Amino acid sequence: MTANTSIFVLGGEEKPKSEKEEWHRFTHAKVLRVNCANGDLTGESTYRSPPEVCPEERASILFKSGTLAGGRLYACTQTEVLILNPDDFAVERTWSHPCLNDVHHVLPDGQGGFYVVVTGLDLVIHVDAAGEIDREWSTVPGEAPFTRFDRQTDYRKVPTTKPHRTHPNFAFRLDGLLWVTRFFPRDAICVTADAPNLPVGVEGPHDGLVREGKVHFTTVDGHIVVVDPSAPDRPTVYDLNTFGAFDAPLGWCRGLKFLDDDRILVGFSRLRRTKFADNLRWLRKRITNMKADTNIYVAPEPTGIRCFNIKTKKQEFFLNLEQYGMNAIFSIL
């Protein structure tokens, strides 16, 4: 497969009884340490948020996108930020606030604080080293933070605020500025300066991995879109669905990590039975025995990580993570 490379995977395990809605579906958050050379599990930990920071009934708990920096693993549930020791997964710090709802990413600032992408409120916040929110940015053009929301409400107790207007889901730094990836506008915007948006197109994006000055996004339908900020209207697009003879949709694509210049790890979460929704319209291209007003039935691929060579345009290997109880992937670190 590859040299002995350990990776961390953040996500969640589903409840034994299937739940249709994502905001009810997961029983606990999960982090795995996996050896890419042989697919062996070398470490794992599960986590459940305390009741006081969760909805009262049928709470869904999983890790969404995180960051590995400064010898620490930054993770987030929908309503908390956690700092973990990556050696033994001990929780060294937790932080929560009533404004947190459907949190999708945490990014440390290098000064003891961190940025939090609060997807449920279409918001990005900065938390200083003392644990105080000192900055807020709306991701909706022309809309101030909390225009549609009440500062007195504890949104940790609200199962969902969908539909979201922009669905921000990942923060990254580029040239000293803070950017955030937005699912519905299919772009990334700078929230700390007046700069042109970075269009992603294709489909709804996640991630925002900066490598050699270019930003790499995943799209849910299995593309990697590489945007050069100096020429944002000329992206490089890789359709991972064409990198092998696949019989079914690969899954909900989210999470990526470079192994080297040519090989990249990409996360795919198993597609679940669901009503045909607008943000799953890309399945029209993959599923033929389906009508828009009926349930989707597919023979889904399992949740796991695929290694693609973007030079040869081939899949090199697949790691099935369902054998380790991982049913959804958000981050590969």
pLDDT at 2 over 60: no
Element (H, E) at 22: helix 22-25
pLDDT at 288 over 70: no
> What is the domain extent for residue 308?
91-324
Q: What are the phi and psi torsion angles at 178 (to 5°)? A: -100, 130
CA atoms within 13 A on the CB side of 91: 16
Cα gap 127→129, rounded to integer Å = 7
Q: What is the CATH number of the domain that holds 277?
A: 2.120.10.30
Q: Which of 266-270, 281-285, 289-293 has the lowest mean pLDDT?
A: 289-293
Task: Decide if 179 is inside a domain.
Answer: yes
Task: Decide if 47 is inside a domain.
Answer: no
- Is the model more confident about 53 or about 19? 53
Residue range 23-33, pLDDT digits in tens: 888 999 999 99
Q: What are the phi and psi torsion angles at 256 (to 5°)? A: -150, 155
What pLDDT does residue 247 have? 78
Residue with tokens 């929110």: 133
3-state helix, strand, coil in the chain (%, to 5): 10, 40, 50
Number of H helices, E strands in the chain: 1, 24
C-beta of residue 63 within 8 angstroms of C-beta of residue 76: yes
Q: Which of 127, 75, 79, 74 is nearest to 99 (CA)?
A: 79
Task: Decide if 205 is inside a domain.
Answer: yes
Task: Decide if 137 is inside a domain.
Answer: yes
Q: Which residues pair with 325 in a beta bridge?
A: none
Task: List Cβ neighbours of 176 (8 Å cut-off, separation of 6 or more).
Answer: none
pLDDT at 251 over 70: yes
Cα gap 54→332, rounded to integer Å = 25
Task: Decide if 11 is inside a domain.
Answer: no
What pLDDT does residue 291 have? 41
The number of distinct structural domains making up the chain is: 1
Q: Which of 42-51, 81-90, 252-261, 276-285 has the lowest mean pLDDT?
A: 276-285
What pLDDT does residue 142 have? 93
- The mean predicted confidence, pLDDT, of the chain is 91
What pLDDT does residue 37 have? 85
Task: Decide if 86 is inside a domain.
Answer: no
Task: Decide if 283 is inside a domain.
Answer: yes
Task: Decide if 1 is inside a domain.
Answer: no
